Amino acid sequence: MANIKLFLREYSSYKSSFKETSLDDNNNIYLCNDTSQEVINFDKLIENLYPNSNIRPKSFDAIFIYEKLIFLVEFKNQKPSKIDNKEVQKKLEDGKIELLKLFTQLNIQKNDYNFIYCVAYKECKEPTSRYKCGVEKGKTQFGLEKFIESSFVKKVYTENVSFFTKEFKKQFKKELMC
């Protein structure tokens, strides 16, 4: 039985950064400017697997792997109230199915890993926006809760980028330059 290292080797051409994977094409804005941490550009990988956009499944932006934890990361350059629940759900659903297909091809046992979906959204800077974002967060969060209940993923985090940056430092002792 192979492990996740094989996946990383096999798809090493998709190695990327949080900066590249957090680009909002429409507005040409990076949600995170970090280039030090290696991730897999999953959108690009799916794009290449499915050149025909009409049949291309939805996908999350990046994969970050830490030991037995696989973080599926979706960046949204939007406030929580503007995030389309259906869209972030579909990205998780399709994206994880595609990822598991790749695991199967490489003979990687999915049950050896825990999948965590992270939706990282735009900062709510203004004090008046902060409480709104805090309340609105529930909308996205609980729209995704069903994926935890059905064990599709182990956990879901919908937070702003600075939360993830702070947590990265706290949990992995590494500073992300977002």
Pick between residue 101 and residue 169 the one whose CB is nearest to another protein.
169
- The structure tokens 């069903």 sit at 146
CA–centroid distance for 74 within its chain: 3
By C-beta, is 53 or 128 nearer to another protein?
128
List CB contacts of 89: < 8 A, sequence separation 6 or more. Answer: 143, 144, 147
Site string for another protein, 95-114 (x = CB under 8 A): -------------------x
Counting contacts by CB under 8 A, is residue 90 touching another protein?
no
Q: Considering only 31-39, 55-63, 88-96, 158-166, which stretch makes contact with another protein by CB under 8 A?
A: 158-166
Assess 130 for contact with another protein (CB under 8 A): yes
Q: Does 73 bind another protein (CB under 8 A)?
A: no
CA atoms within 13 A on the CB side of 65: 17
Q: Which of 28, 128, 150, 151 binds another protein (CB under 8 A)?
A: 128
**Contact between 151 and another protein per CB under 8 A:** no
One-letter amino acid of 56? R
- The residue (of 69 and 177) whose beta carbon lies closer to another protein is 69
Q: Where does residue 107 rank: exposed (0-12), middle (13-18), buried (19+ CB within 10 A)?
A: exposed
Contact predicate 17/38, CB 8 Å: yes
159 counts as binding another protein under rule CB under 8 A: yes
Count of residues interacting with another protein (CB under 8 A): 20
Task: Give bridge partners of residue 59 from the DSSP assignment.
Answer: none
Query: Measured from the CB atom, is 41 or 160 closer to another protein?
Result: 160
- Which residues neighbour 65 within 8 Å (Cβ) at sequence distance 6 or greater? 4, 8, 40, 71
**By the criterion CB under 8 A, which residues form the site for another protein?**
66, 69, 114, 116, 126-128, 130-131, 134, 154-155, 157, 159, 163, 166-167, 170-172
